[in-house]
Copies of this chain bind each other. A is one copy, B any other.
Amino acid sequence: MNKNRGRPRGRPATKARIAEKARALFLAHGYQGTTLRAVAAAADVDVALIGYHFGSKQGLFGEAMNIDCGRSTAIVRALDGDPAYLAERLVDAVTALWEEPDGAGFAALEPVAMRDEDVMRVFREFLEREVLGRIADHLGGRHARERATAAVAVLGGLIFTRYLNPLGPVVALDAADVRRILAPALRAALHGRTVPVRAHRLPARLSRTA
């Protein structure tokens, strides 16, 4: 009568394996693009076991993507340290600012923040004065303010797509992933590199598309 049913022998870390495979699939294909059956197949497990361990797809998502952040620091302090990793520290500072564990982060005012004009103005001033201004001062040089503006645009993009108007694929990342994939862009913004190849021919080429 016996099939593969019932509790298996030993203590296989099945739940952890499911979460691990789920995380990889969520990162690769996004939330909608990842089916529970695909996760179950990757973990070599029945679909129903996911429901047993995690309750629902959202429960699996929440647990698999569990943000491990436990950092708290201001943007300004990110300016100190090795200039080579300034971009990484700035990205980390933004994520840490929201995802502070003890409810002290900006995450508290997340849900309704977008509809409140006052909150948005606070935001604007924070980005413009605190972030942009300090970054520009720190960078120095001829085009410091332009480069700082680009950097703030990138950081604002992180804030916008992850917290204020959260996009699934951005939320799916943990803080380390965010740093990894966004730091290169922020570094390019900070360094203010121009077009690396054949820059002089750019405008003519682009005039048609724009």
A residues whose Cβ falls under 8 Å from a Cβ of B: 27-30, 32, 71, 73, 77-78, 80-82, 84-85, 88-89, 92-93, 95-96, 114-117, 120, 123-124, 127-128, 132, 145-150, 152-162, 164-170, 173, 175-177, 179-189, 191-198, 202-203, 205-206, 209-210
Contact = CB atoms under 8 A, between A and B. Distances in A.
Given A114-B117, A146-B177, A159-B160, 8 more contacts: A84-B197, A84-B198, A96-B210, A120-B165, A153-B154, A157-B161, A160-B164, A187-B196
Contacts of A145: 27-30, 169
24 contacts: A27-B146, A29-B145, A73-B209, A73-B210, A77-B209, A82-B205, A88-B206, A92-B209, A93-B210, A123-B165, A127-B161, A128-B169, A150-B181, A152-B161, A152-B167, A152-B169, A153-B185, A156-B161, A156-B165, A160-B160, A180-B194, A185-B188, A185-B189, A187-B188
A136 B175 CA distance: 21
Sorted from nearest, which 10 A-B pairs have the closest CB atoms? A157-B157, A160-B160, A92-B210, A188-B188, A185-B189, A184-B188, A156-B161, A150-B181, A185-B185, A153-B157
